[in-house]
């Protein structure tokens, strides 16, 4: 059974870089078939797809965030990561990592981690 | 981006009721439509994928239908644990997008 767990700072200062890691257990991240995904939920609102990365390093980003976004995968540590630069209060959200089967079915999710952007 | 519009935004119902939530895509997405249930403080849970396929372990009172631009999620015989927020998501093209959510409350 696949499990995912987000980790990273819960508080980031404006203009700095938000960095999160998602550790995957129960399956090798390099097995293939899954796209490793980041999704966020802004306070009181709905869900926003940030992007995903395949184990080969191929990435697919939301154009609304692409200029500030970088994802990476570490197959030796079985985790993948998100970096979002130049954050503002508008980036305050619960960030989820997920495994998206075939790139179309997000069937495994982490529990989510709240990141607050504030000085 | 493909816009996903859910209706209603909220509804109230009683245990045992049958409810239907609709989701409309701004362009055709074939059957690349997922439905999620979210409870407060929890991650979304996949209920239905490919518009009508029930995710393993999800009760059969949940069902999905539709293709193209119009989709529905039906819950037949509401149970107390079904009161939550429901989201649709298109995975036809990136950026994948979600509906705004439907809050299902107890009447």
- Tens of pLDDT, residue by residue over A25-34, are 999 999 889 9
pLDDT band at B67 (very low <50, low <70, confident <90, very high): very high
Containing A39, the helix (H) or strand (E) segment is: strand A34-41
- Note the pLDDT of residue A94: 98
- Note the pLDDT of residue A31: 85
| Low-confidence residues of chain A: pLDDT under 70 | none
Instruction: Categorise residue A71: left if φ over 0, alpha if ψ from -120 to 50, beta otherwise.
Output: beta
Residue B68 has pLDDT above 90, yes or no: yes
- Note the pLDDT of residue A45: 78
To the nearest 10°, report the CA torsion of B77, B29, A4, B44.
Answer: -30
Question: Rounded to whole angstroms, how far apart are CA atoms A112 and B12?
Answer: 28
- Note the pLDDT of residue B63: 98
Contacts of B1 in chain A (CB under 8 A): 63
Instruction: Categorise residue A47: left if φ over 0, alpha if ψ from -120 to 50, beta otherwise.
Output: beta
- Note the pLDDT of residue A65: 97
Q: Which of B59, B66, B72, B104 has the alpha carbon at shortest distance from B86? A: B104
Interface mutation target, options B85, B96, B97, chain A, most CBs of A under 10 Å: B96
**pLDDT digits 0-9 by tens, B17-35:** 999 999 999 999 999 999 9
Instruction: Categorise residue A106: left if φ over 0, alpha if ψ from -120 to 50, beta otherwise.
Output: beta
* CB-based contact A105 B89, cutoff 8 Å: no
């Amino acid at each position: 059974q696949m499990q995912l767990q987000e980790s990273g700072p819960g508080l980031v200062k404006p203009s700095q870089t938000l960095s999160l890691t998602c550790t995957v257990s129960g399956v090798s991240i390099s097995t293939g078939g899954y796209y490793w995904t980041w999704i966020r939920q802004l306070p009181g609102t709905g869900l926003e797809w940030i992007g995903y990365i395949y184990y080969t390093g191929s990435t697919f980003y939301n154009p609304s965030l692409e200029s500030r976004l970088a994802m990476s995968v570490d197959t030796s540590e079985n985790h993948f990561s998100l970096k979002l630069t130049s954050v503002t209060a508008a980036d305050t959200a619960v960030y989820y990592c997920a495994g998206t089967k075939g790139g179309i079915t997000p069937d495994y999710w982490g529990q989510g981690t709240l990141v607050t952007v504030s000085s | 981006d493909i816009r996903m519009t859910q209706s209603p935004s909220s509804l109230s119902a009683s245990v045992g009721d049958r409810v239907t939530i609709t989701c409309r895509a701004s362009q055709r997405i074939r059957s690349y439509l997922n439905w999620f249930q979210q409870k407060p403080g929890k991650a979304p849970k996949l209920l239905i994928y490919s518009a009508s396929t029930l995710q393993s372990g999800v009760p059969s009172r949940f069902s999905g239908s539709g293709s193209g631009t119009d989709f529905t999620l039906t819950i037949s015989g509401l149970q107390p644990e079904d009161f939550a927020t429901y989201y649709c998501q298109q995975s036809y093209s990136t950026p994948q997008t979600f509906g705004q959510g439907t809050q299902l409350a107890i009447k």
